[in-house]
Amino acid sequence: MPVVDDLGCREQRVAFVADLELGVMTEPKRVVQPFVVSSDPWAWLRPIYQQVSLAPSFALLSNEHQFDLLIVEVAKTSEPKARQLRLINSPTRAAMLSHLCKAESIRPGP
């Protein structure tokens, strides 16, 4: 009996691979992937933005330079996410920075 994770995904994959190894042709089984629901798709950027925005000169930089600094910090933790951010156009970058700034300003706590 194969080991099963909390969603049963591994059991289905193992059963399908076992069928192929036996030479039996079966229908592919549907594998359910877990996901996280969030109302803010950029919530993962908030802690990074908070850290970068603490620099005294950050507010004096243009939007493009602020976003470039944000990308540098993101690249330290996740290069694929940094690549994704590099593809974003200038108006969207400005909107994201505005969103992150507003989210940071209404964040409770120190």
Q: Is the pLDDT of residue 49 over 80?
A: yes
Looking at the fold, whether 60 and 83 belong to one and the same domain comes out as yes
* Same domain, residue pair 8 and 53: no
Residues 69-82: pLDDT tens digits? 999 999 999 999 99
Split into its structural domains, the chain has a count of 2
In a domain, 47, yes or no: yes
88 vs 9: which has the higher pLDDT: 88
What gap in Å lies between CA 23 and CA 17, rounded to an integer?
10
- 101 located within any domain: yes
**SS3 of 22, please?**
coil
Query: pLDDT tens-digit profile of 50-100?
Result: 999 999 899 999 999 999 999 999 999 999 999 999 999 999 999 999 999
- 24 and 48 together in one domain: no
Taking the C-alpha atoms of residue 102 and residue 25, their distance in angstroms, rounded to an integer, is 55
Quickly list DSSP for 38-80. -S-TTGGGHHHHHHHHTSTTGGGS-HHHHHHHHHHHHHHH-HH
Whether residues 101 and 47 fall in one domain: yes
110 within some domain: no
Q: What pLDDT does residue 73 have?
A: 94
pTM listed for this prediction: 0.61
Structure tokens at 7: 């969603």
Full residue range of the structural domain in which residue 54 is found: 43-105
